[in-house]
């Protein structure tokens, strides 16, 4: 790839990342219309993961980190502290791990699911660590029960949605020539 092609690829990745960031800003408005499970669908996780898979780990990490902080600053949700801050680290790991694993693991049809599951586990562990550190600094409590409720129990609809939606979307975008994770 020559310098001109590299610059064009960087520009395409920047445009895609901006699109995923915009989706992360808008998608919670859509899922928020379902009061019973809207937040449980983890709407900002989807664009961060897709960005990692399709643009590469650096872009997924950046979009994942910026999305909750920007959305919190613009719209007040999530609250920047402690939720938005912990989510920033969680989503950064989601996007970064998904992109890195998908690039490094051998190309098989099921690899998107494996990379997704590992990224989801890593992101939730980082979220728990971030919340624990924030709670310690704030002088509040973050127990194992709070971790399990936030990372697993309350997120079950989002986990299912991500497992069903993301790998087929990644494969469809690759087939259409729209994946830039090279």
pLDDT digits (tens, 9 = 90+) for 9-51: 999 999 999 999 999 999 999 998 887 888 899 999 999 999 9
**% helix / strand / coil in the chain, to the nearest 5?**
80, 0, 20
Please state the domain extents for the chain: 3-175
The confidence score (pLDDT) of residue 32 equals: 87
Token digits of residue 89: 């680290």
User: What is the number of other CB atoms lying within 10 angstroms of the CB of residue 38?
Assistant: 15
Report the CATH number of the 3-175 domain: 1.10.1760.20
Q: List the chain residues with pLDDT less than 70.
A: 182
- The residue whose two tokens read 């971790």 is 147
- Distance from C-alpha of 126 to C-alpha of 107, rounded to nearest angstrom: 27
Say if CB 70 and CB 21 are below 8 A apart.
yes
Residue 182 pLDDT? 63
Q: Say what angle helices 45-55 and 3-31 make with each other, to 10 degrees.
A: 160
Q: CA of 72: how far to CAs of 2, 81, 133, 180, in Å?
A: 40, 9, 20, 29
Phi–psi pair at 31, nearest 5 degrees: -70, -25
Q: Give yes or no for a cis peptide into 94 (omega within 30° of 0).
A: no
């Amino acid at each position: 790839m020559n310098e001109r092609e590299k610059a064009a690829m960087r520009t395409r990745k920047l445009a895609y990342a901006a699109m995923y960031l915009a989706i992360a800003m808008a998608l919670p408005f859509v899922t928020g219309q379902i009061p019973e499970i809207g937040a449980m669908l983890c709407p900002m996780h989807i664009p961060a993961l897709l960005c990692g898979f399709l643009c590469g780990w650096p872009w997924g990490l950046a979009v994942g980190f910026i999305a909750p902080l920007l959305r919190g600053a613009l719209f007040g949700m999530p609250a920047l502290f402690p939720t938005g801050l912990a989510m920033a680290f969680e989503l950064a790991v989601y996007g970064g791990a998904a992109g890195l694993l998908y690039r490094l693991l051998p190309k098989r049809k099921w690899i998107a699911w494996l990379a997704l599951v590992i990224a989801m586990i890593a992101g939730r562990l980082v979220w728990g660590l971030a919340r624990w550190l924030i709670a310690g600094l704030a002088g509040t409590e973050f127990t194992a029960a709070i971790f399990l409720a936030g990372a697993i129990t309350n997120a079950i609809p989002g986990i299912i949605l991500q497992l069903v939606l993301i790998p087929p979307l990644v494969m469809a975008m690759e087939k259409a020539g729209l994946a830039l994770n090279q």
